[in-house]
Amino acid sequence: MSEITFDYAQIGGVKLHYAIAGSGGEKLVVLLHGFPEFWYSWRKQLVALSDEYTVVAPDMRGYNLSDKPENIADYHIDKLVDDVCGLIGHLGYEKAAVVGHDWGAAVAWAMAAKHPEYVSKLCALQVPPVAVWQKNQTFKQFLTSWYMFFFQIPFLPEWLLSRNDFALLADGLKNSTAEKNIFGDADIAEYKKAWRETDNLNSLLNYYRANVWQRLFSKENPVKIKVPTLFIYGEKDQAVLPETVKGVGEAVDAPFTEIRIPDAAHWVQQEAAEVVTDTLREFLAA
C-alpha cells in the first residue's frame, strides 16, 4: 500500500488540490467528498485501495486548498462534474471508477448521466439520484432537510457555523454517527484546519445555493445510468432517510448492486470503513 501524497491540477479556471495514492496503471479510482468535508473523508480508502489502483481524492472546488470561486453560479452541478472530468484527463486517463459521498454522490450521479464516457463504474454513498429523491420526497424528509433551506439565507449560516471555532460543524460530525467516537479529537482538528481555509464557509454553502431548488423541484426527464453501479447506504442516516433511497436501482439500466449497512449512519465510509472498502474492492474487481 502506498503513502498519500498531494498535488494540484489546473482544470479550466479552477485549481484543484488532491490527495493521491497507489500506481494502478490503467485503473483509476476517483473519490468525491461531500459537505462539510474534504479529501480527508476518504483517508482510509485512499490507502487501502492503493495496492491495486491509482486512487485520487480531490478537495472539491470551494473546499480546503482548492480554489474558491466567488459566484454562486460557479458551484452549479454541471461545473462540479466538469471539474472531475478535467481531473481524470489531467491525470492521464480517459475514464475512471467514480465514487461519491453526499454532494460527491450527487456529482457522481450527474457525471454518469451526462458524461458516461468518463465513468467506467459508479458508486454512490447515502445520496440517491435526483429523480429517486424527488419521487420519494416526503414531508418528513422535507423537515429533515431544513438546513438546506436555511443555507439559502445570506451571511447568517456562515456566521453561525463559524462561531466558537466551528463548534456547530464539529458537533454535527461527532453527534450524527451511529456509534460514538468515530471522529476523534485529531480528526476534528484536521477538519477545523480545512474549514479555516474556506473563506468563512461561503464556498461550502454555495453548493446548496446553486443546486438545491433545481435538484429538489425540477421536472427534467431523468436519464438512466448506463454504467455498472453500486449504492451503499448506512441505515441510521439522520439526513437522508431510508424511505428517500427506495428504488435506487430503478434509475440504473446496467448491472446494479445495493448494500445496506444497518449499524452505520451518514458518514458511512468512516463509520464502517472496512465494510465499505471491502465492498468497493469487490465491486471494482468484478
Q: Write out the catalytic residue numbers.
A: 102, 208, 266
DSSP E strand stretches across the chain: 5-11, 14-21, 28-32, 54-58, 96-101, 119-125, 229-234, 256-261
Q: Can you tell me whether residue 80 is helix, strand or coil?
A: helix
Rounded CA separation 244/150 (Å): 20
- Would you say the C-alpha torsion 16, 18, 23, 25 has a positive or negative sign? negative
Grid look-up 471491502 returns: 278
What type of residue is 163?
A: R
* Interatomic CA distance for residues 9 and 23, integer angstroms: 18
**Which residue shows C-alpha cell 438546506?**
148
